[in-house]
Amino acid sequence: MVLHMTSVKLKLTDSLIKQVPEDISRINDTDVAGFYAQIGKRSDHDTRSCTFYLYYRFGGRDGIQRRYSIGKACSLTAINASAYFAHSGQRFPHKSSNYLGNNA
């Protein structure tokens, strides 16, 4: 059995995450470059897990790539997760930022 994971590019909102179809596992945000939500499989409780990430790279195409976990949808809204990066003018998180938790 081959599983196909579909990725789409839409504006990330909480209502979108709650009603995302089963075949979609990743939603890339249209407002903040590198910001996306990874959607898990449906659990026994008929819910799907969702984690927000920020992907970026240093040094251009051949540079270092990083993926920071910002938080889970159960404790963070899509608007709150994207707002920090969209309104701060940052293209990537700084390692000294406490906003990213222990991943920095």
pLDDT confidence of residue 52: 92
Share of the chain above pLDDT 70, in %: 75
Give the count of alpha carbons within 13 A of 95, CB side only: 2
CA–CA distances in Å: residue 83 to residues 42, 48, 54, 76, 95: 27, 23, 12, 11, 18
Spatial CA neighbour of 22 closest among 45, 6, 9, 11: 6
Per-residue pLDDT tens for 26-58? 999 998 889 999 998 888 887 888 999 999 888
